[in-house]
Chain A
């Protein structure tokens, strides 16, 4: 994962080296595939929620960690995907995989439409735009009560068994397996995307977009592309939530969800691909453990966490870890 600092690789070999799967990565995926079934079989529905949150955080990582777009309204696309998948199963059919594709398409289309706005702005105005789009979508979902059920949530979502065989069970075996497989497939695609010349130029735009334009990379077109992709992935995550819980609430599109996913990503470390995954696991498990307390109190550890990360741990857990590894490698050749 981490290149030895004394070689100066060509861009091609650099990217090639980064596409290789490391031992830590393989171990991580084996662990998340095995541990919940073996050690926590009663927590599989939580595990499936974690996988969905991780997928959502991954989608945010693509724009925040790699393209440097700070979005405070990413739940708009999560919610769009959730409502699209829910409504699709209610009014067309309950086949889950086509449902996910519809969720991705709807969220991706809206993402594409809004990406023209996003690509034009920077700094505070950009944050305000993402925030505005997020609140706008929330209001649309809230006021279209006849379609979405508004505050009562979308009822009547029925999902067929996957491939007409794997039924969604009460314990979450199917839900977790399904969510995990989708997460893994999307992760592999995102990993490939990030380790491509396109991904490299995104990082260039994050660091200095004026210079990238001067070098001949069209910053705005790149940002439009990655924003659309990110929106589609967020839509898939929302669709997964709608399908595995068979309901869609306004909570899937509100500001709280946008803020939560930023916290998860930053906790794990933005710009590491695995940051969102690690952050989602820690965040969701912690919230599950503290679910007994008043939800308003839950804000306290979250706030302390954010302040601590910004002050003492830039780059989140994975950022700190990779600095530690780098220091270790430097001292012992």
Chain B
């Protein structure tokens, strides 16, 4: 039982990371139908901000909010200046434009920081591990799980019980109708976009300790994020959460039990799930 529970726990922690990285994209995609392949570039930005501040002597927990804020700020500027001009364009234009942005971010990261992995200093009390009933629990992973669950709970509450959340839900359900009812979709979308990118930036900063950070980050996780978004269903926080845990656990379990398959299983699972439910597990449309 020990190894199995350990794999489940590690997979769950990894899934929380993936949840932070993907939830913003899920909601923004649901609202505007905008395929944003540069989403993980914002995550990478958050990661590099955390690394830079950390190197300048900031403690880990002071750097985290800054990585959230910087990713949110940069994303909202881009959204207001460039993204918004393409909302009416087709998905090919979305894909090309955002892949272009991701390419630029990769080159910029390589130019500024080099192609090596960037280390980050976490506080001593977040390192190490302890044993519970024969299961090794990494403290940092436990921290990831707590963060992920807290963020998920906060998002669900905000979306269900606030006025702003109601506007976002209306926009996801039927953007044109919501617009017709006088909801300022553009403003709601800009805020959602900033919030989602900020969470990705936070995820990018938290991911460094687990998977490292180098310029390929913008594409490495993009596939996982896209899988989670399309499997979970657009605009569904619960769906993203379940899909992220599913992908996280099956990825870790696959690497642990059948390493020869590599990432093979995940793509197969994704194709099968989408064949079965093209809207994703929790998608409405």
Residues of A within 8 A of B (CB): 64, 70, 72, 117, 120-121, 123-125, 127-129, 131-133, 135-136, 139-140, 142-143, 255, 259, 262, 266, 270, 294, 296-300, 302-307, 309-311, 314
Contact = CB atoms under 8 A, between A and B. Distances in A.
Contact of B263 (A127, A139, A296, A309): A139
The 3 tightest CB contacts between A and B, nearest first, are: A306-B100, A303-B103, A300-B107
A128 B110 contact: no
A128 B268 CA distance: 12
B100 A131 contact: no
A303 B275 contact: no
A311 B102 CA distance: 16
A311 B97 contact: yes
Contact of A136 (B29, B85, B268, B274): B268
A125 B99 contact: no
A72 B219 CA distance: 13
Nearest to B231: A128
B261 A132 contact: no
Interface stretch (B53-61, B66-74, B88-96, B148-156): B88-96
Interface string B112-134: 00010000000000000000000
B242 interface: no
Given A70-B91, A135-B223, A304 B104 contact: yes
Contacts of A139: 261-264, 267
Interface string B226-254: 11001000100000000000000000000
B21 interface: no
Give the interface SS of chain A, mostly helix, strand, loop or mixed.
helix
A299 B82 contact: no
B215 interface: yes
A297 B110 contact: yes
A46 B79 CA distance: 40
A240 to B, nearest CB: 26
Query: Which one of B93, B215, B268 has the greatest number of beta carbons of chain A within 10 Å?
Result: B93
Using C-beta atoms within 8 Å of the partner chain, give the interface range for chain B.
35 or more
Contacts of B226: 128, 131
Given A124-B35, A306-B103, 10 more contacts: A123-B91, A139-B261, A139-B262, A139-B263, A255-B219, A259-B99, A294-B115, A296-B115, A306-B96, A311-B97
A135 B266 CA distance: 10
Given A72-B95, A143-B261, A127 B107 contact: no
Given A127-B35, A306-B96, A310-B97, A132 B260 contact: no
A314 B88 CA distance: 14
B190 to A, nearest CB: 19
A128 B266 CA distance: 13
A306 B107 contact: no
Given A128-B270, A296-B107, A296-B115, A143 B97 contact: no
Nearest to B259: A143
A70 B95 contact: yes
B278 interface: yes
A143 B262 contact: yes
Query: Which one of A72, A259, A296 has the greatest number of beta carbons of chain B within 10 Å?
Result: A296
A136 B101 contact: no
A135 B274 contact: no
B210 interface: no
B4 interface: no
B95 A299 contact: no
Given A127-B35, A306-B99, A311-B97, A296 B91 contact: no
18 contacts: A70-B92, A123-B33, A124-B230, A125-B230, A128-B227, A135-B223, A139-B264, A143-B264, A262-B95, A262-B96, A266-B92, A266-B96, A296-B110, A296-B215, A299-B104, A304-B104, A310-B97, A311-B85
